[in-house]
Amino acid sequence: MRDAFSRCHPVVNFTYFTAVLLFSMFFMHPVFLGISLAASMVYAIWLNGGRAIRFQFLYMLPMLLLVALINPAFNHEGMTILVYVNDNPITLESIVYGVASAVMFVSVVIWFSCYNAVMTSDKFIYLFGRVIPALSLILSMVLRFVPKFKAQARVISNAQKCIGRDVSNGNLWTRARNGVKILSILVTWALENAIETADSMRSRGYGLKGRTSFSHYRFGQRDKLLLTTLGLLIFCVLAGALLQENSIQYFPYIKINAATARSVLVYTAYFLLCMLPVGLNIWEEWTWRRLYSKL
């Protein structure tokens, strides 16, 4: 993967996504929403390329419009009445609120798509393994068994098909019965084979006291730096939140704090926080080019 942020330590990844997701969910201030949406889109495109653009236009744009339209249709609060539809008032406030919550919703979805691309299963396992060591092994085993079961289910289904007893043979009732039978074979097979897995585990000393958990991640100098930066930025944004820099009132009328120098500072902090992975990528690209041109 060409994403530099994905190569950072899982703790950095996880801290970043937790912060960004929570902030995106709870800050309804238009500036914050705009920053979050823009940053999420840029990062998603960086990570997934054309696929992300297609996803955003095909699914996210219609969803955004839908959520933005649904709210004024059902929510009639607000002072500024624009028009009456079937005796129901459509208010400016509810339209604005609809757009805002649509943006919030869409940016959270896009953030999650980025999260999925960056936080692979082994990173997740590693993080939770540090909290609960036994859990990390269980998760890893589950991830091992799911593809194994799927493959075996296919083998069994093919074998049963060849004696005319698959879920694709016969009428509905027979199909259901065949399906249950395949499941029963799969379970028997799994239990039988688990005995050998247990042997393999015990013969490699599973159950000894003081089991450790190995990972190939290293917390380097850059991770330290990134985590500190993240901490500072999060602190700034939270401080801004305490000082009401992000608060907005939608009903019955829209009330928003005037932008001051201090609020610009908070906006900047939030922007930097959201753009951190993209910034890191740009910086890496730039150093690479510089080194390369010198050669």
147/163 Cα distance (integer angstroms): 25
130/137 Cα distance (integer angstroms): 11
Q: What angle do CA 230, 233, 238 make, to 5 degrees?
A: 120
Q: How far is the CB of 221 from other proteins (least distance, A)?
A: 18
Q: Based on CB atoms, which residue is closest to other proteins, 22 or 146? A: 146
Candidates 79, 125, 77, 68; CA nearest to 101 is 68
x-marked contacts with other proteins along 211-250 as a string, rule CB under 8 A: xxxxxx----------------------------------
In the list 22, 85, 201, 259, the residue contacting other proteins (rule: CB under 8 A) is 201
Does residue number 118 form part of the binding site for other proteins (CB under 8 A)? Answer: no
Q: Based on CB atoms, which residue is closest to other proteins, 164 or 231? A: 164
Q: How far is the CB of 127 from other proteins (least distance, A)?
A: 15
Q: How is residue 230 written in tokens? A: 């993240």
Q: Based on CB atoms, which residue is closest to other proteins, 17 or 124? A: 124
Half-sphere exposure of 259 (CA within 13 A, CB side): 9
Q: How far is the CB of 171 from other proteins (least distance, A)?
A: 12
Q: Which of residues 136-155 bind other proteins (CB under 8 A)?
A: 137, 140-141, 143-144, 147-148, 151-152, 155
Does residue number 210 form part of the binding site for other proteins (CB under 8 A)? Answer: yes
If you search the block for the tokens 């999650």, which residue do you land on? Answer: 112
Q: Based on CB atoms, which residue is closest to other proteins, 86 or 221? A: 221
Three-class secondary structure of residue 202 per DSSP: helix
Residue 281 vs residues 36, 42, 180, 278: alpha-carbon distances, Å:
18, 12, 51, 5
177/171 Cα distance (integer angstroms): 10
Residue 92 CA to its chain's centroid (Å) = 32
Q: Are strands 88-91 and 248-249 parallel, antiparallel or unpaired?
A: unpaired
Q: Write the CB contacts of 201 (distance below 8 Å, at least 6 apart in sequence).
A: 207
Amino acid at 238: L
Q: Based on CB atoms, which residue is closest to other proteins, 87 or 192? A: 192
Which part of the chain contacts other proteins (CB under 8 A), choosing from 197-205, 260-268, 270-278, 283-291? 197-205
Strand partners, 249: 255
Q: Based on CB atoms, which residue is closest to other proteins, 144 or 262? A: 144
Q: Based on CB atoms, which residue is closest to other proteins, 85 or 141? A: 141
Q: Which helix (H) or strand (E) holds 84?
A: strand 81-85
Does residue number 61 form part of the binding site for other proteins (CB under 8 A)? Answer: no
**Phi (first) and psi of residue 170, to 5 degrees:** 85, -170
Q: How far is the CB of 219 from other proteins (least distance, A)?
A: 11
Q: How far is the CB of 118 from other proteins (least distance, A)?
A: 16
Does residue number 128 form part of the binding site for other proteins (CB under 8 A)? Answer: no
Residues that bind other proteins (CB under 8 A): 121-122, 137, 140-141, 143-144, 147-148, 151-152, 155-156, 158-164, 168-170, 181, 184-185, 188-189, 192-194, 196-197, 199-216
